[in-house]
Structure formats: C-alpha cells, structure tokens
C-alpha cells in the first residue's frame, strides 16, 4: 500500500508537471529557466523511468494540459502495468 501511494504520487506529480506524451526523444525535456526545481526533478525522474516520453521538439510544454488518455498512460506506466496492458490489447 505504501509503495502504491509513492507510485501514484510520482504519477500525479508527472501529470501536473508534464503536459503531453508525444513521440519519444533522445534527451530529457528542455524546460524554462524559471521552472520550479522540484518540477524539473520530477519530470526528469519520470523520463528516466520511461514513464513519460515528451514532445518531438524535445521541449517541455508546461502550458499544455494533460488529457485523460495521457493521465491513464502515466498511471499504467508508473504502476508497471505497460506489458500487461499490451498483452490484454493483443499487441505484445
């Protein structure tokens, strides 16, 4: 239960801090200089775990809102259910 709370906290922080799940890019998202340090750390951590991918242009778009689909993906990936979701969908 405690671990689930941590995972959900990270997922929620990512959902609030990260705008969208566009195509993957090679480097961690570029953020504005005035972006809060905790937000930057949360996004970079989610990126390092493969929970978020970012935009094609490699930028952090904090002005965008997270859609329901994107939030669902955050939760699935943060809980480690990505492979289970693919298997249920028939695409392994």
Give pLDDT tens digits for 8-31. 566 656 655 554 444 333 456 666
The pLDDT value given to residue 23: 36
Residue 85: pLDDT over 90: no
Q: What is the pTM of this model?
A: 0.50
Q: Report whether 29 contacts 18 (CB < 8 A).
A: yes
Asked if 20 contacts 65 with a C-beta cutoff of 8 angstroms, the reply is: no
The predicted-structure confidence for 31-66, as pLDDT tens digits, reads as follows 666 678 887 888 888 888 877 777 888 777 778 888
> Hey, what are 45's tokens?
């951590």
DSSP string, 49-75: TTS----TT-B--TTSPPPHHHHHHHH
pLDDT at 26: 44
Q: Which residue has the tokens 């905790």?
A: 38
């Amino acid at each position: 239960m405690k671990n689930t709370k941590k995972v959900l906290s990270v997922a929620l922080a990512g959902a609030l801090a990260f705008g969208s799940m566009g195509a993957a890019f090679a480097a961690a998202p570029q953020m504005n200089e005035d972006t809060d340090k905790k937000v930057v750390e949360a996004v970079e951590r989610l990126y390092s775990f493969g929970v978020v991918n970012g935009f094609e242009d490699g930028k952090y778009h904090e002005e965008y809102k997270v859609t329901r689909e994107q939030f669902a993906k955050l939760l699935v990936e943060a809980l480690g259910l990505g492979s289970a979701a693919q298997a249920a969908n028939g695409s392994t």
